[in-house]
């Protein structure tokens, strides 16, 4: 499945659950890997000169509602994942 992501900065809300972590992983990998500049057929090889860096930035955001005694663990986990990808991290409590 091909999804076009427009140029810009995107805030990804990360709760620490599986869904938001998978979303962040997919977006972060896409943001960190070069993309072909022009459409090519499957048979045609893409040369490094045809690659360009993605045009979007990610910010990881987390909100700790404090509804569970262990909610701080989710905050720390989301922060560690952001660090793993080298992404800015913001949070509120």
> Which tokens sit at 20?
């938001």
For 45-55, the pLDDT digits (tens) are 545 444 455 57
Task: State the average pLDDT over residues 21-36.
Answer: 84
Q: pTM score, two decimals?
A: 0.75
Taking each helix axis from N to C end, the angle separating 18-32 and 71-85, rounded to the nearest 10 degrees, works out to: 10
The alpha carbon of 33 is separated from its chain's Cα centroid by a whole number of angstroms, namely: 11
- Which of 60, 83, 55 has the alpha carbon at shortest distance from 11? 60
> Which tokens sit at 2?
């091909």
More confident residue, 37 or 71: 71
Give 23's contacts (C-beta < 8 A, 6+ positions apart). 12
> What phi and psi, each to the nearest 5 degrees, are found at residue 8?
150, -175
Give 34's contacts (C-beta < 8 A, 6+ positions apart). 51, 52, 53, 54
């Amino acid at each position: 499945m091909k999804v076009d992501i427009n140029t810009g900065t995107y805030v990804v809300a990360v709760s620490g659950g599986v869904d938001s972590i998978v979303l962040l992983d997919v977006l972060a990998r896409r943001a960190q890997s070069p993309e072909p500049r022009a459409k090519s057929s499957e048979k045609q090889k893409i040369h490094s000169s045809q690659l360009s860096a993605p045009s979007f930035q990610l910010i990881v955001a987390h909100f700790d509602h404090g509804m569970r005694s262990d909610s701080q663990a989710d905050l720390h986990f989301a922060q560690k994942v952001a660090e793993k990808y080298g992404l800015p991290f913001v949070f509120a409590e």
